[in-house]
Structures are given as C-alpha cells and as structure tokens.
Amino acid sequence: MKRSVEDAVELINRKGKITDRMEAGQNLIIRAYEPADWEAVCTVFAQAKPDEFKGVLGEEDIIPLDQDEAILKSFHDSAIYVAEKDNRIVGFAGYHSQFISFLFISPHYYRQHIATKLLEHILPMAGNEVSLLVLKSNLPAINLYRKLGFTIAEEFNGKYNESITVTVLRLSKTQAAF
C-alpha cells in the first residue's frame, strides 16, 4: 500500500505549534508552555524523575517540581515547550541561553520518540554551543543525547537536595548556525 507524503508525515508550523503525525494516526503537538499547563507539567516531572535517579536514590528523596526552589527558578528562567499527544501533556523540555535545562517524558510514553522531537524542536533555538547535565547512571538519556550528537565534556560529583552526592556528566554539542 503506497502512502502519500501527507499521509506519511504531517509537519505544520502554525501559531508556534509543530504537529507531527505519529504511528496509528496519533498526533504529537509541540507548543510553548502556558500557565494552564502547570499541573500537567508537575505530574510529568513527578512520574519521570524517579527514572532519572533509578539506582541512585529513593523516590522519598525526590523533591516535587513545585517545592524545589532551585529547579523552580530554573523552570521560570527557561523557555519551556510541551508535547501533547491525545490531548494530554506527555512531556516537556526547556532551555535557558545555551543550556538544555529540562527534558521529561511521562513513562507511559517512553520509546515513542517524543524526547527526540522535543529536543529537535528546541535545539535550533538554544544556540550553536549547547550543553546539558545528566546523571552518569541515566543511560537511556545519555544514549539519546549521543544519538543527537552530544559528547561528554566533563564528569564531576554534584549534590542533589544539598545532601546526596551524585555523579554528573556535562554533555555538549556544537551545531551549525540556524
């Protein structure tokens, strides 16, 4: 069965929204964060954060987004974009200057290329020299970033919640000017 280009991929940029037809006719919409998205973003963060820290600390040590002053400040300083699928926010990403500050996907939507789509959307806006921080133990995230051209620039020990030592990688990517 031969499909038209329109059937295979639908890419529309209207009012800051990017729509990409996903498998089984489901659409993914990437758009700028709006204050009405706050509760859904907090939910995605709460669902995904334990996977980021898997094997490093327990869920009881994770501070919710709306209660973590440092992360909350970073959130408000960042340009945030959300991914909607089936009329539900399923992920979000953000950047500040040339730093990728957020990338969280609801675990129910892992392995559907949503993180890749969000990164592909924000990378051109983030600048030519982009960096991010990721836990050394977060292999799925590291693999994703490497596929997108990020390389390890630095490894160091950091603190989570001012008391828990974690090993962190700073990844960087030089990209062509857009």
pLDDT tens for each residue of 17-51: 444 444 433 589 999 999 999 999 999 999 999 99
Q: Is the pLDDT of residue 15 over 70?
A: no
Cα–Cα separations (whole angstroms), residue 144 to 1, 24, 34, 113, 120 = 32, 23, 27, 10, 12
**What tokens were used for 25?**
């006719």
pLDDT tens digits, one per residue of 102-152: 999 999 999 999 999 999 999 999 988 999 999 999 999 999 999 999 999
Task: Of 51, 59, 60, 109, give the one whose Cα is nearest residue 82.
Answer: 109
Q: Let me know if domain 5-127 sits in CATH 3.40.630.30.
A: yes
Look at residue 3 in the predicted model and tell me its pLDDT: 34
Average pLDDT, the chain: 85
Q: How far apart are CA 96 and CA 80, in angstroms?
A: 9
Phi first, then psi, for residue 138 (nearest 5°) are -90, 70
